[in-house]
Amino acid sequence: METPTTRPVTLDDVARAAGVSRATASRVLGGYGFASVDARERVGAAADRLGYVPNTTARALVRGSGTRLVVAVSGTEATVLDDPYVDRLVSAAARVCAPHGIGVALEWLPLDAPAGLRRLGDDRSVCGVLLVNTTAPVLDAVPAGLRGRVVSIGTGSPVVPSFDVDNAAGADAVLRHLHAGGRRRIAMVTGPRWLSCAERSVTAYQGLMRSAGLPVRLVTGDFTAARGGRAAAEVLDRWPDTDAIYAASDATALGVIAALRGRGLRVPHDVAVAGFDDIPYAAVSSPALTTATHPVARIATAAATAVLDGRPVPPVTAFPSTLVARESA
């Protein structure tokens, strides 16, 4: 219990106090190999009494296991690091890693400089990498030394397992809801077009519109509210009779609604608006936002767990997205 004020308690101290060798103490505390009941009890008691906390740094060194999980975020500019989506990912990963003595680092990995990946692979303190907002070429360039320790959130690839929400299903649910509400001239504000996970929603949108004989009205966005506002203006300028806008993110949808309101249009009376993500503020916006769920924390938790476990993972893990019908559509 009482730390000797200055020097930290080591395994040697515990072993000495328990009257066994360091090896035995390690076996007991590590829970592997053989150990007599007597030894187990004595070591456990000594560890408790001395307040022993294993030095995970030393353990990681000898095991060669690494102490950090790196969340590598790509994108066109470093400001993506400030995205609430990334915040949520990092935070959930940090929560999963904490009990294992592993910390999370957040780095920006420019898409045009995948060499950074090699450095991560050579860095023995890195036990795994979560690739976010990346592209297939980058995934294909993952060095061999990193295989099995890296997963992608969003973009898929044959070489790196990916975790993401089922974008197509979410888009499908939202668009069917819009259609069921009588909307026929439905525009979509997309995410960044280079992002394959964002593109899956676009494909779903296009497929559904075409099969229903409805016009395809696409405007490119970037998931942000500001861009959503500008995109809404563009939609109305190009297709003034639009009666619904499907935004690829809730932030975008909120921006769309604000822009619509600025033009004197009522939501959902004149134009219905639906988003994607079900962020906390979707429920309290005016009008409350109709959207589809995006279990970001669950995705990050699963991805981090997969890397930590190190077991083989199916190439694609898709999390269901369900409709949340509120007022805006």
DSSP classification of residue 119: H
Residue 35 interacting partner from a copy of itself, DNA, none (CB closer than 5 to 8 Å by kind): DNA
Residues composing the chain? 329
| Residue range at the interface with DNA (CB under 7 A); choices 12-20, 148-156, 195-203, 289-297 | 12-20
Choosing from 23, 45, 113, 283, the residue that interacts with a copy of itself (CB under 8 A) is: 283
* Contact between 38 and DNA per CB under 7 A: yes
> Longest C-alpha distance within the chain, in Å?
84
Please, what is the minimum distance in Å from the beta carbon of residue 124 to a copy of itself? 5
Size of the residue set binding a copy of itself (CB under 8 A) = 66
- Residue 310: partners with Cβ closer than 8 Å, 6 or more residues away: 148, 149
- The residue with tokens 């300028």 is 237
Residue 45 or residue 283: which is nearer to a copy of itself going by CB? 283
Q: What's the CA gap between 256 and 246, in Å, rounded?
A: 9
Choosing from 32, 37, 82, 312, the residue that interacts with a copy of itself (CB under 8 A) is: 82
* Contact between 302 and DNA per CB under 7 A: no
* Contact between 62 and DNA per CB under 7 A: yes
For residue 126, the surrounding DSSP H or E stretch is strand 126-132
Q: What's the CA gap between 55 and 37, in Å, rounded?
A: 25
Chain Cα centroid distance, residue 15: 43
Please, are residues 259 and 253 in contact by the beta-carbon 8 Å criterion? no
Please, are residues 187 and 215 in contact by the beta-carbon 8 Å criterion? no
Residue 16 interacting partner from DNA, a copy of itself, none (CB closer than 5 to 8 Å by kind): none
Choosing from 64, 158, 213, 264, the residue that interacts with DNA (CB under 7 A) is: 64
Choosing from 182, 240, 280, 312, the residue that interacts with a copy of itself (CB under 8 A) is: 280
Q: Where are the alpha helices (DSSP H) in 159-224?
A: 167-180, 196-211
Distances (CA, A) of 329 to 33, 172, 318, 323: 61, 14, 26, 11
Residue 15 or residue 92: which is nearer to a copy of itself going by CB? 92
HSE (side-chain half, CA atoms, 13 Å) at 143: 14
Residue 180 interacting partner from DNA, a copy of itself, none (CB closer than 5 to 8 Å by kind): none
Choosing from 39, 71, 146, 188, the residue that interacts with a copy of itself (CB under 8 A) is: 71
β partners of residue 73? 108, 132
* Contact between 128 and a copy of itself per CB under 8 A: no
Please, what is the minimum distance in Å from the beta carbon of residue 123 to a copy of itself? 5
* Contact between 229 and a copy of itself per CB under 8 A: yes
Q: What's the CA gap between 327 and 319, in Å, rounded?
A: 25
* Contact between 22 and a copy of itself per CB under 8 A: no
Q: What's the CA gap between 70 and 297, in Å, rounded?
A: 16
Q: What angle do CA 142, 145, 148 make, to 5 degrees?
A: 75
* Contact between 100 and DNA per CB under 7 A: no
* Contact between 110 and a copy of itself per CB under 8 A: no
**Where on the chain is the footprint of a copy of itself (CB under 8 A)?**
3, 5, 8-9, 51-53, 55-58, 60-61, 66-71, 81-82, 84, 86-88, 90-91, 94-95, 97-98, 101-107, 118-119, 122-125, 143-145, 225, 228-229, 251, 254-255, 257-258, 261, 279-281, 283-288, 297
Would you tell me which residues interact with DNA (CB under 7 A)? 7-8, 10-12, 19-24, 26-27, 29-30, 32-39, 52, 54-55, 58-59, 61-64, 124
